[in-house]
Amino acid sequence: MKLMFVSDIHGSNYYADKAIEKFKEEKADYMVLLGDLLYHGPRNPLPKDYAPSKVLLLLNQYKDKIVAVRGNCDSEVDQMVLEFPMMSDYTIIFDGTRRIFATHGHGFNEGNMPPLQDGDMLIHGHTHIPVAKEVSGKYIMNPGSISLPKEDYPNSYGIWENNRFMVKDFDGHVIKSLDI
């Protein structure tokens, strides 16, 4: 199974479109959206081509390929226009015997770990900073932000395939990688 992880679109039609392009190019089975889909939030600048109504129309076209969780900038009104569930604080995906705990990151994160077993993965967004590391037998991943990256990282997304997590930029360069 190949999963593409996208976080923190923040209403950018430009970067949502780029995400869909990469989803097709990567030939991923599912796109896992890690929250902050439509709204930019009061702490963030307006992202490039801010158009939440266009983003929702684009994402709704892929509703059967999307698994999503709620970010701190998402609300019930967003769920009213999106045609896929996105109000859960987390979702659990199984890839073989490995459990992938996917969440936005404003609740569960490295500082507040969910109950995981050794070998399980926590993947979240929220910080807009890519991460791929092992801590005490558990794996912590963050694809960074597709629209508003921080700490001089490029716009990025994550790929999980064959026990390997990679954070990539739009040119296909691997920013971070971890084989598990």
As beta bridge partners, residue 134 has 139
Q: For residue 116, how many other CB atoms are within 10 A of its CB? A: 18
Go through the domains of the chain in sequence order and give each one's CATH number: 3-179 (3.60.21.10)
Side chain identity, residue 173: H
List, for residues 84-137, the tens digit of each pLDDT value: 999 999 999 999 889 999 999 999 999 999 999 999 999 999 999 999 999 999
pLDDT class for 65, splitting at 50, 70, 90? very high
Q: Which region, left, alpha or beta, applies to residue 10 given φ > 0 means left and ψ of -120 to 50 means alpha?
A: left
If one counts every other C-beta atom within 10 angstroms of the C-beta of residue 118, the result is 9
Tens digits of per-residue pLDDT, 20-64? 999 999 999 999 999 999 998 888 889 999 999 999 999 999 999
Cβ partners under 8 Å of residue 77, min gap 6: none
Integer Rg of the chain from CA: 15
Lookup result for tokens 């994160």: 109
Across residues 2-9, what is the average pLDDT?
Answer: 98
| Dihedral sign, Cα of residue 49, residue 50, residue 52, residue 53 | negative
3-state SS class at 73: coil
Kindly report the three-state secondary structure assignment for every residue of 83-143. CCCCCCCEEEEEECCEEEEEECCCCCECCECCCCCCCCEEEECCCCCCEEEEECCEEEEEC
